[in-house]
Structure 1
Amino acid sequence: MKSDESANYDEMLGEDGSIRPAYAGFREWYDEQDPRWLKKQDAEAERFFRRIGITFNVYGDNDAEERLIPFDMIPRIITAREWRKLTRGIEQRVRALNAFLQDLYHRQEIIRAGRLPMWIMRENAAFLPQMVGFTPPGGIYTHIVGIDLVRTGPEEFMVLEDNARTPSGVSYMLENRETMMNMFPELFTRIPVCPVSDYPRRLARSLRESAPDCAAERPVVAVLTPGIYNSAYFEHAFLADQMGAELVEGSDLRVVNGRVCMRTTTGYQPIDVLYRRVDDEYLDPLSFTPDSVLGIAGIMDVYRSGGITIANAPGTGIADDKAIYSFMPDIVEFYTGEKPLLPNVPTWRCSEPDALAYVLDNLKDLVVKEVHGSGGYGMLIGPASSRKELSRFEKKLRARPDNYIAQPTLSLSTVPIFTRAGLAPRHVDLRPFVLVSPNGVNITPGGLTRVAMRKGSLVVNSSQGGGTKDSWVLED
């Protein structure tokens, strides 16, 4: 996807070329440095990432080779005032998402009120009948949430999508910061940046606060991974280690006396909270996919009897659906009584005849996405597509219009990246990470900035060649 970067909002440079306040301290430091030393540090950052094994797999690649996610050493910087505004909107949205999920699996008042059509639930594979009538411990469905944001102007942030099932990327946020502090310690003495290193501690505390009533005085937390061949295995192992939690696979667990227990050298020990990184359909072969070897037979029975907390709750994936996303302004208003503080990107639901007609007439100018898609797959980027690609995608749209939504091509903001020729603007998005427990909502200051490393590209997904950078929120 291509764009004229000169027409986009530059987060570092004003229209007259002046440095915006957020970047003033950093740019002053940067201009003092020897360019040759900066190039050496850039190469050292890549060696560091390879050394500690920050890689990922891309499913479907013929070579099945692990890839290094490109890291850019120029931070993305947000002022304290901007962050305060963002956090209010993020918290409002996350509270609405939890209220929506509670309602959807109980009385469905939003559907009764005519604010959400029945088909969006009835025809959605992410809606789990097994969760109907059941309230998770503490009433929390989405314990860990990632809200993807894009910026289009000085005060203009928009939500691109919600990640309420199993949001990933927090390990890269933490390693990006550690890398920056190791390479440029003097920067953090000159510029007051909000810390992110306590995220694992806060995650562990938030999960323990969400434990069921039967939990031990100090609840036992474990991270469930599909195993070493999963694309996000590094993150699973990293978070378990940082939290002091057990990293387990389905084969390590079994149901004993009505509790989910993990195998230890002294026998099976009950688990109170399971931070699962396994999709719903593989979680319990007795309730979902019968031949799954990734989950635990009977865990849903234990869950529904109050014997364990599963984070995030099964069935939360419906909130990630891009058709549901298009209704989020109504969802926020219905459950909070307030207008959304963070707007959605304008979205056409191709399941609606008028919207489909508009999308087909303007396909070359729009971005079209699968409602269940992720990672940049299954998309059409109209402005970057050939006539043949447009024609092929038009046939897909006509065959299954309910499988797609469409959005305008956004003028995403740019931030600088380091290149051999100096600083150059590239497009970015931002994924703040939110922790939710019965005791409240906690938002990490910053999050994961994903950056399109290629000039002109708007695609920031790591699976599509995008990279990451450290996200700074300045202290007051």
Structure 2
Amino acid sequence: RVKALNMFLHDIYHQREIIKAGIISDSILRHAQYRPEMINVDVPNGIYAHIAGVDIVRTAENQFYVLEDNLRTPSGVSYMLENRKMMMRLFPELFRQYSIAPVEHYPQMLKNNLRAVAQSGVKDPTIVLLTPGAYNSAYFEHAFLAQQMGVELVEGQDLFVRNNAVYMRTTEGPKRVDVIYRRMDDEYIDPLAFRPDSMLGVPGLLSVYRNGGVTLANAVGTGVADDKATYIRVPEMIKFYLGETPILSNVPTFELSKADDYAYVMEHLSELVVKEVQGSGGYGMLVGPTASKKEIADFRLIIKANPANYIAQPTLALSTCPTMVGQGVAPRHVDLRPFVLSGKTTTLVPGGLSRVAMREGSLVVNSSQGGGTKDTWVLQEMETQALSELQVQPEASDTEKVALC
């Protein structure tokens, strides 16, 4: 799935074969997250989404669905790592007994992945993590990952552009930067290219990036591939680019830009989940079965004002897991966000972020809406445990591979 999305991003900014084939409408070229600045810009290894988080749910019928693709700045991996650390302290005997795949080497996997996407000819790339600053809700994760990878955590004011290169200010003078793992949205990274009022970005950064002077992970313009309108086409993308049948299904989705879908959704709002096409974090959505009559009536008016800005899906009977709440242990709905790294190869991290809707009956698992998290165990065969416990080496050669199950 992630391979197909990367191929789609390359195609949509180059030949646009998928539009010519009639699978994707050319209206995507007017999408708010489509960046004309990226047209015909070649990125290392053709990788746009170096770090992806794919949200998966399981229904009562034991069917797995992809709920959402996160390709811009997917977050939550620090919870995965900290949850595992805590669980290993509390229940070390369980980890010895059940042969659980490790996740603690993720920071080194990420660093190796970032090294692999540096511009050709750079033997020992300098990597930095660009954060919006301490007031960002994910700042802990930014600082945590930078520390774990052994790279500098920088803000926009710490970097500057000179002679088609990006430099970092240090106590020993300017140091050239080769790879920027950026944890801020496109519109804030360069005030000369996007929002002129941004105080977070680096003036001139996009120009250097377009000319191959630095690598950005994830690439500029990835947002066009992870909104909820593009999501509908991902199964067709997999067939188009890879010639394969999708392993994981999408949730059946209604497009309110289509007259028939619009009519059906407006008649069944109380039964459906309605989402903004470009919404995230659990905001801008209606969960029909738990909404009041007034909330449904208000949302109906919002939809009427701009139907194309919304999609709708059936309310799935999500699986539950035992969760400690105020009254003791009780079932709560849960989803899973596995993390996928793409560089020279595409690697699935053997774990992930399980997110829990803490309120009884709620289907919204987002942390911004009060959701919680859980450690996620991937069991492995005993004979492969020794291989998977090997630490990923910082200077791994092209022939070395990480054994994961």
Supply the AA of the counterpart residue of 1:289: R
Supply the AA of the counterpart residue of 1:450: R
Pick aligned residue for 2:237 from 331, 348, 353: 331
Query: When the two structures are superposed, what TM-score results if normalisation uses the length of structure 1?
Result: 0.79
- Write out aligned runs for 1:99-118 (5 A): 99-118=7-26
Supply the AA of the counterpart residue of 2:41: F
> Aligned-pair distance for 1:319?
1.1
| CA distances 1:165-211 after superposition (whole Å, capped 9, x unpaired) | 11000000000000111122222122210000000000000000000
**Gaps in structure 1 of 5+ consecutive residues:** 1-92
Supply the AA of the counterpart residue of 1:235: E
The corresponding residue for 1:61 is none
**SS in structure 2 at match of 1:297:** coil
> Do structure 1's residue 385 and structure 2's residue 291 form an aligned pair?
yes
The corresponding residue for 2:2 is 94
The corresponding residue for 1:471 is 376
Conservation of the 8 A alpha-carbon contact between 2:256 and 2:307: yes
- Write out aligned runs for 1:190-229 (5 A): 190-215=97-122, 217-229=123-135
> Aligned-pair distance for 1:424?
2.2
The corresponding residue for 1:364 is 270
> Aligned-pair distance for 1:441?
0.6
| CA distances 1:226-260 after superposition (whole Å, capped 9, x unpaired) | 00000100000000000001100000000122210
- Write out aligned runs for 1:124-143 (5 A): 124-143=31-50
The corresponding residue for 1:70 is none
Pick aligned residue for 2:305 from 375, 392, 399: 399
The corresponding residue for 2:68 is 161
| CA distances 1:1-43 after superposition (whole Å, capped 9, x unpaired) | xxxxxxxxxxxxxxxxxxxxxxxxxxxxxxxxxxxxxxxxxxx
The corresponding residue for 1:298 is 204
Conservation of the 8 A alpha-carbon contact between 2:190 and 2:203: yes
CA distance in 1, matches of 2:254, 2:148: 42
The corresponding residue for 1:69 is none
The corresponding residue for 1:10 is none
**SS in structure 2 at match of 1:472:** coil
**SS in structure 1 at match of 2:340:** strand
RMSD: 1.2
Supply the AA of the counterpart residue of 2:274: V
CA distance in 1, matches of 2:191, 2:239: 38
> Aligned-pair distance for 1:355?
0.9
CA distance in 1, matches of 2:197, 2:269: 41
**Gaps in structure 2 of 5+ consecutive residues:** 382-405
Supply the AA of the counterpart residue of 2:12: L
The corresponding residue for 2:214 is 308
CA distance in 2, matches of 1:364, 1:175: 38
Supply the AA of the counterpart residue of 2:379: L
**SS in structure 1 at match of 2:92:** coil
CA distance in 1, matches of 2:323, 2:197: 46
> Aligned-pair distance for 1:156?
1.6
CA distance in 2, matches of 1:268, 1:138: 28
The corresponding residue for 2:170 is 264
Provide runs of 4+ in structure 1 moved above 6 Å.
none
> Aligned-pair distance for 1:291?
1.9
Conservation of the 8 A alpha-carbon contact between 2:325 and 2:358: no
> Do structure 1's residue 321 and structure 2's residue 227 form an aligned pair?
yes
Supply the AA of the counterpart residue of 2:100: V
Pick aligned residue for 1:373 from 279, 286, 290: 279
Length, aligned pairs only: 381
> Aligned-pair distance for 1:419?
4.5
> Aligned-pair distance for 1:214?
4.7
Conservation of the 8 A alpha-carbon contact between 2:50 and 2:218: yes
CA distance in 1, matches of 2:183, 2:243: 33
Conservation of the 8 A alpha-carbon contact between 2:49 and 2:72: yes
The corresponding residue for 1:449 is 354
Conservation of the 8 A alpha-carbon contact between 1:96 and 1:336: yes
Conservation of the 8 A alpha-carbon contact between 1:214 and 1:307: no
Supply the AA of the counterpart residue of 1:159: V
Pick aligned residue for 2:181 from 252, 262, 275: 275
> Aligned-pair distance for 1:418?
2.9
The corresponding residue for 2:387 is none
The corresponding residue for 1:235 is 141
Supply the AA of the counterpart residue of 2:370: G
> Aligned-pair distance for 1:316?
0.1
Conservation of the 8 A alpha-carbon contact between 1:138 and 1:212: no
CA distance in 2, matches of 1:117, 1:420: 49
